[in-house]
Amino acid sequence: MRCRMVMATVFLLVFAFSGWAGEWVLFTRENTGLPSAAVWDLMKDGRGWYWFGTGGGIALFRQGKWALFTPKNTGRALKGKSVVKIFQDTEGVYWFATRRSFIGGGGVTRYDGKHWQLWDKERTGGGLPSDYVWDIVEDSQGRLWFATDKGVSCYDGERWYLYNRTNTGLGLPGDSVWDIFVDKGGDLWFATDKGVGWFNGKEWRNLTKFNSGLPRANISVVFQDSDGNFWFGSRSGLWGGGGLIFYDGTKWKLYTRKNTHGGLPHNDINVIFQDSNGAVWVGTRRGVARFQGGKWQAFLKNEPVWDIMEDGKNLFFAVSRGVAVLVGDSPPPWGR
């Protein structure tokens, strides 16, 4: 290991497999400019800047320096310090979903590179039906979609449109929407507490335990891999459940900690990602799984993994203690 990386905490293992060979390195608030141990979301923008949604605000690494944005230095445009989602639209505008506390949503903050602006339920006139926003995406027509605990809001630049169980005829099967995914054809998929919603711009449909082979109800994340297959993450509830669901358009398969012999380290799924080598990574409540060629491998056991990002040959994992990096060729810029 390089001497300049000694300050970063090296942990777990050194290993090699097809397409990747490297070391796991943990970057924390002690050896970076991260303001908090917990990191919820990761993004590298079009300029090559790194953004981190943390429990202590937004951390930004650009041009070799760290910057921190909090409610105080954004004129309270950041309503909460816990930043759970970061998104950059095609116009280059940044959007952040925040939390004030465990009992208070923070709405959405807009940043155009110069000005910070708070968009919450009050300031949007109910366009956002709730200040609890879990995900933000942009569709093929440039409209922004916001997943909330009271349905989905769509903003076309001028008007707001709210969709819920009632006005979609259960096309959106649940009002608690955790994740939105735009597939290769431009259709939108919604992970809800009662199944999966689908919208093609004109028509709504759903997938539930009652009308399809979907084996779980509480869906936390939707993902489409490079072969066009769909993966659905779920979370357990009072009556059990959870696990990872695979659907190839014809057949359904449920993967759990039990039937993967621990290869999937936990049944509560937070994020699904595919790397440039075709491996599918699954972030869970207690570790991350790698799936390729029918084989499972588990890493970062007992560490909650909230987001995954690839940059060059490095893989980044947002975890409860900072950012874990699987170094593929050279360390990230702040570790050099």
DSSP string, 153-181: EEE-SS-EEEE-TTTTTTSS--S-EEEEE
Domain membership of residue 194 (yes or no) is: no
Query: What integer pLDDT is reported at residue 12 of this predicted model?
Result: 43
Domain membership of residue 291 (yes or no) is: no
Q: Do residues 96 and 84 touch, judged by C-beta distance below 8 A?
A: no
**Alpha-carbon span 79 to 89, nearest angstrom:** 21
Query: What integer pLDDT is reported at residue 100 of this predicted model?
Result: 80
Domain membership of residue 262 (yes or no) is: no
Query: What integer pLDDT is reported at residue 4 of this predicted model?
Result: 37
Domain membership of residue 323 (yes or no) is: yes
Query: What integer pLDDT is reported at residue 11 of this predicted model?
Result: 47
Q: Which of 323, 328, 330 is nearest to 44 (CA)?
A: 323
- CA 67, 281, 190: angle at the middle one, nearest 5? 80
Domain membership of residue 160 (yes or no) is: no
**Alpha-carbon span 247 to 266, nearest angstrom:** 20
**Alpha-carbon span 311 to 191, nearest angstrom:** 26
Query: What integer pLDDT is reported at residue 102 of this predicted model?
Result: 61
Domain membership of residue 170 (yes or no) is: no
CA distances for 260 relative to 59, 240, 266, 273, 303, angstroms: 36, 17, 10, 18, 19
Distance of CA 62 to the CA centre of its chain: 22
Residue 136 sits at φ, ψ, to 5 deg, of -140, 130
Domain with 44 in it: 1-119+304-336
- CA 132, 137, 142: angle at the middle one, nearest 5? 130
**Number of structural domains in the chain:** 1
Domain membership of residue 296 (yes or no) is: no
Query: What integer pLDDT is reported at residue 5 of this predicted model?
Result: 39
Domain membership of residue 128 (yes or no) is: no
Q: What is the mean pLDDT of each run of 10 residues along the chain (336 residues)?
A: 40 43 86 94 96 97 95 94 96 95 84 96 96 97 97 97 97 97 98 97 95 94 98 84 95 97 97 97 98 96 96 94 91 77
Residue 137 CB neighbour total at 10 angstroms: 18
Q: What is the pTM of this model?
A: 0.93
